[in-house]
Amino acid sequence: MARGSRLAKVEASLAEAVERARADRAFVAAVGDVLRGVDAPLAKLAPSCQACGECCHFDQAAHRLYVTTGELALLTENLPDGALWAPKRCPYQRDERCTARARRPLGCRTFFCDARVGEACSALYEPAHQDLCRLHARHGVPYQYRELTAALAELRAAAKDRRFLR
Ligand code: SF4
Ligand code: SF4
């Protein structure tokens, strides 16, 4: 009983943070600008990618994707189809393709399995992430940094129970 209450509180906290972020359209637009800001320098690195989609199967790829409140607000403008939900796999992937490409988080944009660009990608990630941190502070949006699949599951449960999200 006590455990359930604590979990409900944590769940509401993320959903409320994301709702607050989504209500500030200037904030969400600014988050999108920061994310798109890494695309041109990444393209110059010309990483090798066969678009196999394996990096979105987090267990298979042995990594995790972490996202901020603002990135979740942008990404979850549409929650994915229920049929696509599976443990440790991004539910925005369908037929090995990203269905949220324009809204995908920073970690998606800056990850490539091409070892040649690993360091350069990290060098792009860190300052962009700091920009996102500053944006949260400037707009008074609660900053959270959460593992993607757990965060999406939490938001999905909140949407079902309390209609926080569409
Ligand atoms: S970065 Fe690598 S694992 Fe990810 S889609 Fe491209 S080739 Fe596949
Ligand atoms: S948002 Fe798109 S690119 Fe990022 S993990 Fe999900 S399917 Fe992959």
Question: What pLDDT, in 10s, does the model give residues 3-20?
Answer: 444 444 444 489 999 999
Give Cβ neighbours of residue 117 (< 8 Å, ≥ 6 apart). Answer: 45, 47
Ligand 2 atom showing the smallest separation from residue 97 Cα: 7
Which ligand is closest in space to the CA of residue 67?
2
Global confidence as pTM: 0.89
Domain ranges for the chain: 2-162
CA of 1 to the centre of ligand 2 (A): 35
Ligand 1 atom showing the smallest separation from residue 51 Cα: 5
pLDDT in tens, 92-145: 999 899 999 999 999 999 999 999 999 999 999 999 999 999 999 999 999 999
Per-residue b/e over 6-18, b at no fewer than 16 CB within 10 Å?
Answer: eeeeebbebbebb
Which ligand is closest in space to the CA of residue 93?
2
pLDDT at 6: 45
Distance, in Å, from the CA atom of 51 to the CA atom of 55, rounded to the nearest integer, reads 9
Are 128 and 38 in contact, with CB atoms under 8 Å apart? Answer: yes
